[in-house]
Structure 1
Amino acid sequence: MGARGQGRPVAVIGAGAVGTSVASALARAGRPVTVCGASRRIERIEVTEDGSTETWPVAQATVPDDITGYDTAVLAVKAHQTDAAAAWLKAVSAPGTTVLVAQNGVEQRERVAPHTDGAYVVPAVVYLNAERTAPGRATLRRVGRWDLVLPDEAPARALAAELSAGLMRVGLEADFATVAWAKLLGNITANPLTALTGRRVDVLRDPGIGTVARLITDEAVRVARAEGAALSAAHAREVLAWLENAPEGATTSMLQDRIAGRPLEYDALTGAVVRAAERHGIDVPVNRLILALTSAIHPGQ
């Protein structure tokens, strides 16, 4: 295995909207990108932001053995697709390697642990609002202060420096649990409510939907505090205000998946809240209802 740094290839497992956006930053910083197992041939990735489009050439790995010896991987498949990516994760996982998990939720490390023996797993809180427009192509909208937040740990700092060199706005946070739960507040409102209504994020400006969003986040704050996150009702209000002022046309991954007839990522979001609530004996009736409704949507509907 070669030395870490500029010029070393990075494996991107899941070249959807987020994976393509993160890959573009690493490519801009000088890391050759290898896209893993895409269903169609991808020779370049393309990201459009504020009407300007940039492209970068990429390699494509067709079997997991193609990425053996890589020192960095980005896992950007949906949470419920993690087990399907197991062979790719195992191929790249070894002592000294880093796996950036760019997935929603608060259970990233627990989710990938069975497949990443020996690798250092860096969970990421993703704030990018990215929309896949074609294989290897994405439209990127940046919202808020950060694009990604990583835990303030040595391997994460090295990766953050590379991403920052590629113009990704990356924050490092010692209290990562609080940041992750704060982001989850947004995901458990915007994702299911857009998927269930068939509308983009601006649906949260409707008074009735806004009321449901407040009930969802109020329950989740109680659960987050029981899990050790330093959240309050004020955090929930900040998250909802941020969503209500999202850029025009902002969408969610769950809405995109429903439109495309793909399985929905409800278990890593609302499911995580319900599981944690059960551990602490907290009643979360609205989140249970949202979980029941989203789990009843089947691919293709």
Structure 2
Amino acid sequence: MQRWHILGVGAIGGLFASLLQEAGTRCTLLLRDSDPDLAEGTTCITLRRGERLHSYQFEASASADASPISHLLVCTKAQDIIPAIAGVAHRLAPDAVVLLLANGLGYQQQVRARWPQLDCFSGSTTEGVFREGRRAICHAGRGSTLVGQPGRETAPGWFDAWLALPIQCGWSRDIDTVLWRKLAINCAINPLTALHGCPNGELAQRAELAALVGELCAEIRAIGIAAGQEQAVSDLQTQVMAVISATANNRSSMLQDVLAGRETEIDYLTGHLLAQGREHGIEAPRNAALLAAVKALRAGTRPA
């Protein structure tokens, strides 16, 4: 029977572990060696949907364990993906399925280059979920999830388990476009909210921020077209404003990271975008300034 190991048991990892188990797929949570739940060998996740609470019991495993892994779902932050996989690489079957479900771009190529024997897939989700406690999460908003592999038209057999999830989940024959579109939208929203310490909705409510969104979108669209991703950035500003409206009260993951003093995913969002721009000879001064400003926040300073 198919078993998924979940690496990165935050809000997204906890949600998909719970959904998979609810649909009948066995899951094991990969925990840090210092996690007290490892002593018991099990752990529980509480998932809230509206007023209803659901509890799910899982087997717990340390990264250093020796038991083999055939299917790995990676839900860490983008900057943690390489070291996280390296920590369990000794357990991965030679042809293990690895599904990367994180923001940003660039790490996919790094994973394939370092572990070419693995069968790597990518996913993108718009499910609304946030943590309410150490093992408590809230499924606050329904979205959709797409999974794919570059150059692969049809879904592999293991994806049947994902089609059984109680959410909208599908196979994408063009996952690169899906990921690029999400990157473009994130680049226009997340860094601005992190820099100004505001919920998404303020990017539309404050005239000066709305103008900045438009300028960022213009630069992002130019780079996307040059990179062969015209479909992903088509009508980008309209898409971005729709997301801002739909998530007006939300705090972006990048803002949450800044507030918590954690490293952000800016290098795999705006950093990747600017690298694409340099490759195609396109400057993006607004995005470059935003990258520097967010990095200065992380360093505890502000740019002059």
State TM-score, norm by structure 1: 0.87
Equivalence for 1:83: 82
Q: How does 1:6-155 map to 2 (within 5 A)?
A: 7-38=1-32, 40-42=35-37, 43-66=43-66, 68-142=67-141, 144=143, 146-151=144-149, 153=152
Which stretch has the larger CA shift, 286-295 or 7-16? 7-16
In structure 2, give the amino acid aligned to 1:40.
D
Query: Could you say what the CA RMSD is over the residues aligned between the two structures, in angstroms?
Result: 2.4
Asked if 1 retains the 8 angstrom alpha-carbon contact of 2:81 and 2:107, the reply is: no
Aligned CA distance change for structure 1 residues 126 and 107 (closer, same or farther; 3 Å): farther
Q: Which runs of 5+ in 2 are unaligned?
A: 38-42
1:157, distance to aligned residue in structure 2 (A): 4.4
Asked if 2 retains the 8 angstrom alpha-carbon contact of 1:185 and 1:220, the reply is: yes
Structure 2 CA distance for aligned equivalents of residues 264 and 10 of structure 1: 27
Asked if 2 retains the 8 angstrom alpha-carbon contact of 1:262 and 1:299, the reply is: no
Structure 2 CA distance for aligned equivalents of residues 88 and 28 of structure 1: 28
Structure 2 CA distance for aligned equivalents of residues 160 and 300 of structure 1: 44
Aligned CA distance change for structure 1 residues 241 and 151 (closer, same or farther; 3 Å): farther
1:31, distance to aligned residue in structure 2 (A): 2.0
TM-superposition CA deviations, 1:4-33 (whole Å, max 9, x none)? xxx433111111111111212211122222
Equivalence for 1:285: 285
State TM-score, norm by structure 2: 0.87
Asked if 2 retains the 8 angstrom alpha-carbon contact of 1:218 and 1:233, the reply is: no
Structure 1 CA distance for aligned equivalents of residues 118 and 9 of structure 2: 21
1:114, distance to aligned residue in structure 2 (A): 4.5
Say whether 1:264 aligns with 2:264.
Answer: yes
Aligned CA distance change for structure 1 residues 85 and 30 (closer, same or farther; 3 Å): same
Q: Which runs of 5+ in 1 are unaligned?
A: 1-6
Aligned CA distance change for structure 1 residues 143 and 252 (closer, same or farther; 3 Å): farther
Aligned CA distance change for structure 1 residues 109 and 92 (closer, same or farther; 3 Å): farther
Say whether 1:195 aligns with 2:167.
Answer: no
TM-superposition CA deviations, 1:169-197 (whole Å, max 9, x none)? 22322222222111112211221122112
1:89, distance to aligned residue in structure 2 (A): 4.3
Structure with the greater alpha carbon radius of gyration: 2
1:154, distance to aligned residue in structure 2 (A): 7.0
Which stretch has the larger CA shift, 278-287 or 161-170? 161-170
Structure 2 CA distance for aligned equivalents of residues 128 and 120 of structure 1: 25
1:294, distance to aligned residue in structure 2 (A): 0.9
Aligned CA distance change for structure 1 residues 34 and 154 (closer, same or farther; 3 Å): farther
Aligned CA distance change for structure 1 residues 126 and 266 (closer, same or farther; 3 Å): same
Structure 2 CA distance for aligned equivalents of residues 136 and 265 of structure 1: 23
Identity %: 25
In structure 1, give the amino acid aligned to 2:145.
D
Structure 1 CA distance for aligned equivalents of residues 50 and 96 of structure 2: 34
1:104, distance to aligned residue in structure 2 (A): 0.9
Q: How many pairs are equivalent?
A: 293
Structure 1 CA distance for aligned equivalents of residues 29 and 60 of structure 2: 5
- More strand, by proportion: 2
Structure 2 CA distance for aligned equivalents of residues 14 and 77 of structure 1: 5
